[in-house]
Structure 1
Amino acid sequence: MLLVYTHKITPRVKYVFKQICTRILGIPVHFTTTIEEFIAHDSLKMSYTRQPLSNEVFVRSNELLFEQGLSDLDIHVLPWEETKCFFTTGEKSALPFDIFAATFYLISRYEEYLPHVKDEYGRFTAQESLAFKNQFLDQPVVDIWAYKFKAILQDNYPDFKFPKQNYTVKPVIDVPVAYEYKLKGIMRTFGGTTKDLFTFKFRRLYERYSVLMGFKRDPFDTYKYIINKQKSSKFKFVFFFSVGDFSTYDKNINPQKEKFVSLIKHIADYCQVGIKSSFFALTNVELLKEEKNRMEAIINNSIVGSRQSFSKVNLPESYRNLVELEIPEDYTMGYVNHLGFRAGTCTPFLFYDLDFETQTPLKIVPYHALDFAFLKYQSLLDKQEILKKIIRNIKNVNGTFVPVFHNYTFSKHERWKHFKTLFNTILDAKTK
């Protein structure tokens, strides 16, 4: 156990130390404001305050973890060996930066509460982030900092047996539209046919009716391939199906259709299943509740978690709704058009509500690579190179890699050429 002496035990202090020490490094942590208790402790210990007590491991604290609410922070990002950090500490500190305050800033998504420019869907973009502006979006900096802290502890406590963490992968399969042509109903099929005719897409028209007449497999029907991959993989896949009502933004199959229900049940026999919430459920908790109940009735089990439509997160409202409905996990924390680490980490963390200054039970599982983000790289070689770099960075800190692929990513469409190869690269990566 690591004992931390600090002048004030706040919710922020407890939250971030447990993330770094327990969730990333596997070390239990306790806190004290009593000097006598700190001195008597005969195992791992450190002080986190303004001045050291004596010769203990001391990290000079920034005021961020002792504040409440939001303030206009003056952040200067500086190089630190192979990475970058902010909130400098001074000479007496065992670390040149207050990694605990810096970690809190990133995983609480402090910057997403501050004024920023949103994209056309109302999303926080990579370009607005501190990580993008300072060129560390491609690094899980929080985990890198944690391992630098571990090295300090190991130097001071060489006899302590530190737990070993292991690299793992959590593949996500996002299913906004289960089939391209099948089960769409007469009106949608008629509308699609008319559009194909007026836009002279005769090849698509031929494909549409070949599928509807049973001569060809639907292009989005890649489930057999994915299930076979699941059967041979040591990693458990997580599927997110949209079961919301049809709208301008959500165009999936009617969730009452028996064949669609059968598909979800079949997938649930092999993989974990959650909901891809509809666009309007993002701001309507009653609608989200209805979709959650609908999915749980289909799989006859609790959902594993959720992914928000269009990868949109509005803090804190989006996550508060999930907490209210007791949805255990969310897989939306990442960027659609950029590979990397939106929250600066490859370790799941709990949502901290900055308005209420409280840690919630909602686990945020950040994703690091969405299939769309690879499209900017032309060749397979370029795609593999950037993917292997991400995997290498996560392996170096024994983290959890969360890639997001869609069901149609594995189709034969030219746009998604080579994406099966990328998926295999992820699944075949050694865990050691």
Structure 2
Amino acid sequence: MILIYSHKITPRVRYIFKHIVTRTLLIPVSFTSKVEEFVAHNGPKISYTKTPLGNEFFIKSNDLLFEQGVNDLEIIINKWDNVPCFFATNVKSSIPFDIFAASFYLISRYEEYLPHVKDIHGRFTAEQSLAFKKGFLEKPVVDIWAFKFLQVLKENFPDYEYSRRSYNYISTVDIDNAFAYKNKSFVRSVGGFLNDIFRFRILNVISRLAVNLNIKADPYNTFDQFLALKKKYKVKTIFFFLVGDYTTFDTNVSVAKSKYRLLIKEMVDYARVGLHPSYFSMQNSALIKKEKERLEGITNTPLKSSRQHYLRFSLPETYQLLIDLEIEEDYSMGYASNVGFRAGTCTPFYFYDLDFEIQTPLKVFPFALMDTTLNDYMKLTPKQSLGRIRDLRNEVKAVNGTFITLFHNETLSDYLRWKGWKRLYESMLKIATS
């Protein structure tokens, strides 16, 4: 156990010290604001305040963890042994920057509360983030800082027995369209057929006819392949099902279709199933509640995990809705346009609500990459994508973090724009689990 002294123990101080020291480095902490208690303590101890009390392990504190609300901060990037960092300290400090304030800034998504321009889907964009602007989006800097900090702790407290966490991999799959052509309504099927003819998509027309005449399987029905690969590589896999009503952005099969309901029931037997709240649910509690109850009615189990469709979420509103609906885990933390670490970390963390200044029970699982990011936004080939995946996995493995990937069922179809991506998915599993 490490004793932490600070002149004021705020909710922010407790939150980020427990995340860095306890959840990331597996070292229990306790807190005190009494100088005499800190001085009398014989074990490992750290002072986190403006000036050192004596010759102890000291980190000069930035004001961020002692404030409330959100302010526009000036951030200057420095380097700690070639690792970008900010909130520099002085020569008396045992490390050259306030690791706790900097980590809190990234993990709380402080910058997403500040005024910003949203994209066409109402999202905070990667390009506006500090990590993108300063070139460290593809590095889990919070975890890198934590492990560098651990080395300094070991030098100062060599007799303490340190534990080390294990690397972890989670494959997540979003089901935006369970079937390409099957189980659609008559109106949608005819409309799709006419649209393909009008746009001269001859291959689509042929495939649509062949699937609906039961000559070939629906290309998006790749669920057996996912389950076979899950079993082969012993991978933890979570399927997020979209069960919202049809809109321009929610084009999945209707849950009224028995084949779709049976598919969901079958997946529950072999893997974890989560909710994929629909496009317009971002600030609509009634809509998420309806869809949650709809999916729970099919699975006959309480749903604890979710990921927003189109990664549309607004902080803190969307997360507050999920908490009210007793969702315990969210997997939306990532960007559509860029791979990397939106919150600067590859460690799941509890959402800190800057509106109410409390740690919430919602655990956020940040993902490192998405298939459509690599294919549609970055325009990478499967071979080029594998290189980026390997780089990201190596970053996570170096800090024994949790590597989370986001794919879609259609990615394994090898159909149209997804040619070659089925092989990529299996190659990724080999890399992720090796």
Instruction: Tell whether the structures are fold-level matches, with TM greater than 0.5.
Output: yes
AA aligned opposite 1:108: S
Distance 2:304 2:425 in 1: 22
Aligned to 2:141: 141
Once residues 154 and 115 of structure 1 are traced to their aligned partners in structure 2, the CA distance between those partners, rounded to angstroms, is 41
Matched with 1:28 is 28
Equivalent pair of 1:272/1:304 in contact (CA under 8 Å): no
Q: Look up the match of 1:219.
A: 219
DSSP-derived class of the 2:428 partner: helix
Aligned partner letter, 1:52: P
Cα shift readout 1:75-125 (whole Å, capped 9, x = no counterpart): 101222131000001101011010100001001101001111111111111
Question: Which amino acid letter does the alignment assign opposite residue 399 of structure 1?
Answer: G
CA distance in structure 1 between the aligned counterparts of 2:191 and 2:166, rounded to whole angstroms: 51
SS at match of 2:58: strand
Task: Give the stretch that moved more between structures: 39-48 or 69-78.
Answer: 39-48
1:431 Cα deviation from its structure 2 partner? 5.8
CA drift at 1:28 = 1.3
Question: In the aligned structure 2, how far is the partner of 1:289 from the partner of 1:378?
Answer: 37
* Aligned residue pairs, count: 432
Could you tell me which amino acid in structure 1 is paired with residue 273 of structure 2? V
Q: Note if 1:320 corresponds to 2:320.
A: yes
Partners in 1 of 2:420 and 2:2 — Cα distance?
47
1:103-122 → structure 2 map (5 Å cutoff): 103-122=103-122
In structure 2, what residue type is equivalent to 1:236? K
Residue 393 of structure 1 is matched in structure 2 by 395
Identity within the alignment, %:
49
Match of 2:171 in 1: 171
Residue 371 of structure 1: aligned partner: 371
Matched, 1:90 2:90: yes
Q: Deviations over 1:114-164 (max 9, x none)?
A: 111111111111100000000000100000111111111111111211111
- The Cα shift of 1:377 comes to 4.8
Match of residue 337 from structure 2:
337
Instruction: Please tell me whether the aligned partners of residues 265 and 298 of structure 2 are also in contact (alpha carbons under 8 angstroms).
Output: yes
**TM-score, length-scaled by structure 1:** 0.97
What residue number does 1:52 align with? 52
2:118 counterpart SS class? coil
Equivalent residue, structure 1, for 2:350: 350
Q: Which amino acid aligns with 1:148?
A: K
Deviation at 1:235, TM superposition (A): 2.5
Match of 2:259 in 1: 259
Mapped partners of 1:418, 1:41: distance in 2: 61
**Counterpart of 2:429 in structure 1: which amino acid?**
L
Are 1:200 and 2:200 matched, yes or no? Answer: yes
Q: Is the 8 A contact 1:143 1:397 kept in 2?
A: yes
- Provide the alpha-carbon RMSD of the alignment: 1.3
Which deviations, in whole Å up to 9, do the C-alpha atoms of 1:314-361 show, x marking residues without a partner?
A: 111111100110100111110111110100000011111111111110
Q: Which amino acid is 2:425 matched to?
A: F
Q: Which moved more, 1:68-77 or 1:369-378?
A: 369-378
Aligned to 1:248: 248
How far residue 412 of structure 1 moved from its aligned partner, in angstroms, is 1.4
* Whole-Å separation in 1 of the counterparts to 2:289 and 2:195: 35
SS of the residue 2:307 aligns to: strand
Q: Which runs of 5+ in 1 are unaligned?
A: none
Q: Which is worse superposed, 333-342 or 278-287?
A: 278-287
* 1:153 has 2:150 as partner: no
SS at match of 1:64: helix
Give the structure 2 partner of residue 186 of structure 1.
186
**Structure 2: which 5+ runs fail to align?**
none
From the superposition, tell whether residues 81 and 230 of structure 1 become closer, same or farther in structure 2 (CA, over 3 Å). same
Secondary structure of residue in 2 paired with 1:339? coil
Secondary structure of 1:362's aligned partner: strand
